Amino acid sequence: MSRGSAIDLTGLSAVQVSEWLQSFDTVLCDGDGTIWQDDTAIAGAPEVVNALQDRFGKKVYLITNNGLKTRQELFERSQRLGFHLPSDRHILSPTAAIADYLVASPQFDRARHKVYVVGNAAIARELRQHGIDSFGAGGTDELPPGDKWPDFVAREFGNPETARDVGAVVVGWDEYFSYCKMARACHILCSNPDAAFFVTNRDAVHKYPAFCIPGTGAFVSGIEACSEREALEMGKPNPLVLEPLTKAEKLRTERTLMIGDCLKIDVGFASNCGMLSLLVGTGRYSNLSDVQREKDKLAQPDFYLSRLGDLLTLL
Ligand SMILES: [Mg+2]
């Protein structure tokens, strides 16, 4: 089977399916659009994921770019929806990756440093669970009526210590994104070159059938432009997010299958890491011809299924 040929697994013989199953030891599974939509499991997905793990002995990890829940909250959701993951360490999420990274960083001192978050409250909860203080998450930050910019700047940015105590700036999806937040992040990043700069993911837009809304990539681009610094991406398709597993020899990318619904993020991630890829049609793409139309722009998957649950009859 040649790479990137988007083979529909339902067209394989029993022998070919068996060979395919033997070609990987580890499965990385995307969340939204692949195994669940928010708090609802996609039909058949729990049964397939559990069969791969429990019947065929595959090591299964859930890998999401969703920064709106902590690792523990995602694990609890997976249990509630019937997925048999052995522990929350089988959840790879950007908020957990950032917290783990800071805990391991010799430059970040949890006793002294705080984190400035342009993002939602889950980031602050995840940091807190790792013993890290933060500010800014989950709230509004607007210029009060009648306030003038020079007053705001003098009040907020007048004390150089304020920026020096910030060990990192984290950007995630933020429905309260504002000029004041951007100004605060810009000030910290420009005046404190030692502060780390992370983004949960660079998803540009979230497309729903009836509307499109800006993703985290849109927010971080503005902050990168004004701070003249580049954020470290802690989500797919950056191979960095797999480093803790590959370094601990818990995963070999050449023996790993990545399952997801997004060509750019999931198949791109598999391609960047040298993993096999299976694209499912329950999210961004609803049929194989839409996938193939992107072949000049984006890496193509090795395998395709209309929905993950279709694998059940083949196993
Ligand atoms: Mg997805």
d(CA 191, CA 88): 37
**What does the pLDDT read at residue 121?**
97
d(CA 167, CA 300): 39
Quick check: 236 pLDDT over 90? Answer: yes
Quick check: 115 pLDDT over 90? Answer: yes
**pLDDT band at residue 145 under the 50/70/90 scheme:** confident
- Specify if 129 maps to a domain: yes
Which of 199, 233, 267 terminates a domain? The answer is 233
- Specify if 96 maps to a domain: no
pTM of the model: 0.91
Q: What is the CATH number of the domain that holds 270?
A: 3.40.50.1000
- Specify if 82 maps to a domain: no
Quick check: 243 pLDDT over 70? Answer: yes
Residues acting as catalytic residues: 30, 32
How far lies 195's CA from each of 14, 187, 220, 300, in Å? Answer: 54, 11, 16, 37
Ligand-binding site membership of 302 (annotated)? no
Structure tokens at 273: 């890491």
> Do 167 and 196 form a contact (C-beta atoms < 8 A)?
yes
Half-sphere exposure of 199 (CA within 13 A, CB side): 25
Quick check: 212 pLDDT over 70? Answer: yes
Which of 175, 209, 233 terminates a domain? The answer is 233
Q: How much distance in Å is there from the Cα of 283 to the middle of ligand 1?
A: 6
Beta bridge partners of 259: 29, 278
Q: How much distance in Å is there from the Cα of 34 to the middle of ligand 1?
A: 6
d(CA 203, CA 216): 6
Q: Which pLDDT tens digit goes with each residue over 55-71? A: 999 999 999 998 899 99
Quick check: 1 pLDDT over 70? Answer: no
Can you tell me which residue has the tokens 């394989």?
12
Quick check: 209 pLDDT over 80? Answer: no
Q: How much distance in Å is there from the Cα of 188 to the middle of ligand 1?
A: 32
Q: Tell me the H-state helices in the chain.
A: 14-21, 45-50, 71-80, 94-104, 121-129, 149-157, 160-164, 179-191, 216-227, 243-247, 268-273, 288-292
Same domain, 114 and 216: yes
Quick check: 166 pLDDT over 90? Answer: yes
Same domain, 223 and 282: no
Mean pLDDT value across residues 123-144: 95
223 burial (CB, 10 Å; 0-12 / 13-18 / 19+) is buried
- The DSSP line for 249-315 is TS--GGGEEEEES-IIIIIHHHHHHT-EEEEETTSS-SSHHHHHTTTTTSPPPSEEESSGGGGGGG-
Ligand-binding site membership of 206 (annotated)? yes
Residue ranges making up the domain that contains 145: 107-233
Mean pLDDT value across residues 157-162: 81
Q: How much distance in Å is there from the Cα of 36 to the middle of ligand 1?
A: 9
**What does the pLDDT read at residue 275?**
98
Mean pLDDT value across residues 40-68: 96
Same domain, 208 and 258: no
- Specify if 79 maps to a domain: no
Beta bridge partners of 116: 135, 169
DSSP conformational letter for 51: I
Q: How much distance in Å is there from the Cα of 249 to the middle of ligand 1?
A: 26
Mean pLDDT value across residues 150-161: 84
d(CA 225, CA 208): 28
Mean pLDDT value across residues 16-20: 95
**What does the pLDDT read at residue 165?**
92
Quick check: 83 pLDDT over 70? Answer: yes
Q: Which pLDDT tens digit goes with each residue over 259-269? A: 999 999 999 99
Quick check: 109 pLDDT over 70? Answer: yes
Secondary structure (3-state) at 75: helix
Look at the chain and report how many structural domains it folds into: 2
Ligand-binding site membership of 236 (annotated)? yes
- Specify if 22 maps to a domain: yes
Same domain, 117 and 229: yes
Read off φ and ψ for residue 277, nearest 5 degrees.
-135, 140
Ligand-binding site membership of 187 (annotated)? no
Q: How much distance in Å is there from the Cα of 109 to the middle of ligand 1?
A: 34
Q: What is the mean pLDDT of the chain?
A: 94
Which of 218, 233, 248 terminates a domain? The answer is 233
Quick check: 53 pLDDT over 80? Answer: yes
